[in-house]
Amino acid sequence: MTEQDEPVAERDILAQATAAGLGKAVDEFPQDVLAAAQAARQARQSLCAPDDSTAEPWPPMRASTPP
Amino acid sequence: MAADARVDSAVNDLHWLTAQEIAAAYAARRLSPVELVRALLARIDKLNPLLGAFIRVDAEAALDAARVSEAEIAAGRSRGPLHGVPVAVKDIIDVAGQATTCHSRIMLDHVAARDATVIARLRAAGAIIIGKLALHEFAIGGPSFDLPFPPARNPWNPLHHPGGSSSGAGAALAAGLVPLALGTDTGGSVRNPAGACGVVGLKPTYGTVSRHGVFPLAFTLDHVGPMARSTGDAAVLLDVIAGYDPLDPGSVDGGARQYSADLARGLRGLRIGFVRGFHERDIEADPEVIRALDEVARVLTCEGAELREVALPPLQDFFGAQRVIMASESWAVHARWLRARPGDYGASSRRRLMAGAFLSAGDYIEAQQRRHELIAAVAQASREVDVLLVANAMDTPCRIDDPDTIARTYSRQARNVFSLTGQPALALMCGLSSQGLPLSVQLAARAHDETTLLRVGAAYERATQWPQRHPALPTDAPVKPA
């Protein structure tokens, strides 16, 4: 990434946040918006792709049935 | 020391009695609910300015309930082992007529119209609701100093944080302000403060305890869990609060059971799976933590358990799925307020809760698919053992005024593995560090096998007596943090 790219990326992130309805947060807390975007990016990068993308994900939580 | 002897020697230390000891003392007419509640209220008055454990203490209602309990017990109308026993509640759980603030400006005016199911169960069992406990804002943002209430502090050293997000529960129990507490656990929020404060925290199997009337953080990860100063007390509390609730869509109808049934059985015949990889391979734990975990393994073996090594998928794999699910679901809960009132959140919550705005529906589905694969992988790797022995935190709690170290160390843990799989996990004190701060171990069992999990915890406590260790706290006059 070049030095010129970074502000563009930040503008994109803030635009994405505005599109998500976070315009007020963009105006008042832009650094928090950028930090949130970075946290989301890190979370997505640390997510291992499932072995089977056709596996049924519902119900999303099912500890095994009680004995 | 036997419970009766402890009660006899604790005339001036009522605050250290366990719920089981309190019940025995009531039955023997050596203690009354009013006497106990008055003693605890006086101790809260002295220590809460230092520790910030309670957001709200309902002294009059607690004393009224104590008088009712006293009359009922005197008349021989016992309602069970929690009759007349004070319980404090994380302020994310509804108590009728009181604000459920979630430790946030957003919720300061939100007065609960009715009791959460867990509170209704406690009241039916005769327990006394003594007050609402501090937490990390909305169970995610903290410890923070930009919220309407101060953060709770660690009784073992008030300059250090008490873990979270059920921070007030950990602090109140460790300081002897209350014998029992209710916390909630989405990514480890019962087990983290239990470990940091040297008390007991149980995340039951997903669906075992109703979440109706509990403010959500992430629907498919949220649990309500008992916290106490002994495994036996946690079991007795679980006996009361567990059970099917049609008002909670995640509730499991498993029939009535007594989780405290096997506390005295010992460990002979049980197989313990030691998961070294988390703290030796995936995240290198503090050497004191590693030594303490090895010592737990040795003690459990000496008590008759068979020890085996178990390898699970890397911690980072669990973290990835858990973070995407939690961020996505919590964004769904908070989006309307983050859009309209971002300034009413603390900075920590605001940053964490907005993350979900940058994740897609596809990310969320992938995380849930990966979650199912991880659940299956843990079940497969654990099929030859009864209970897993796992690290809790990889470090002892750092100073509460050191946000950089907090940010670096908070994710150095192995708790969200079981938030993701939904199986029960128990945090226990297993030592003191060279700095005098608690060390903690985590035990986990198969889904719905809390009885075996609690059996192991109780045996470990009998062998080590860690529940008898308490922090030294100033009690002569009200004190405030430096």
Return the residue in B106, B326, B354 with the most chain A beta carbons within 10 A, the one to mutate for interface testing.
Answer: B354
Residue type, B297: A
Residue B128 Cα, gap to closest chain A Cα (Å): 31
Predicted pLDDT of residue B480: 64
Mean pLDDT of the B388-401 span: 97
Interface confidence, given as ipTM, is: 0.91
For residues B423, B273, B386, B430, the Cα torsion angle rounded to the nearest 10 degrees is: -70
Say if B6 is an interface residue toward chain A (CB within 8 Å).
Answer: no
Mean pLDDT of the B84-92 span: 98
Least confident piece of the model among B66-80, B426-440, B461-475: B461-475
Q: Which residues are within 8 A (CB) of B85 and not within 5 positions of it... i.e. 6 or more apart? A: B19, B22, B23, B126, B127, B128, B179, B180
Kindly tell me if the per-residue pLDDT of A27 is higher than 50: yes
Predicted pLDDT of residue B477: 58
Residue type, B338: L
The first and second tokens of residue A31, run together, are 């650094």
Catalytic site includes residue B90: yes
Say if B363 is an interface residue toward chain A (CB within 8 Å).
Answer: yes
Note whether A51 contacts B316, CB cutoff 8 Å: no
Return the residue in A18, A32, A54 with the most chain B beta carbons within 10 A, the one to mutate for interface testing.
Answer: A32
Predicted pLDDT of residue B257: 85
Predicted pLDDT of residue B256: 75
Q: Which domains does chain B have, with CATH numbers?
A: 3-468 (3.90.1300.10)
Predicted pLDDT of residue B11: 45
Kindly tell me if the per-residue pLDDT of B19 is higher than 80: yes
Residue B230 Cα, gap to closest chain A Cα (Å): 26
Quick one: pLDDT band at residue B476, thresholds 50, 70, 90? low
Mean pLDDT of the B164-169 span: 98
- Given A13, A33, A46, which is nearest B323 (Cβ)? A46
Predicted pLDDT of residue B3: 47
Chain B stretch 244-273, residues whose beta carbon is closer than 8 A to a beta carbon of chain A: 250, 252, 254-255
The first and second tokens of residue B244, run together, are 């099917």
Q: Of B32, B46, B69, B90, which is the active-site residue?
A: B90
The first and second tokens of residue B264, run together, are 């005295």
pLDDT tens column, B218-239: 999 999 999 999 999 999 999 9
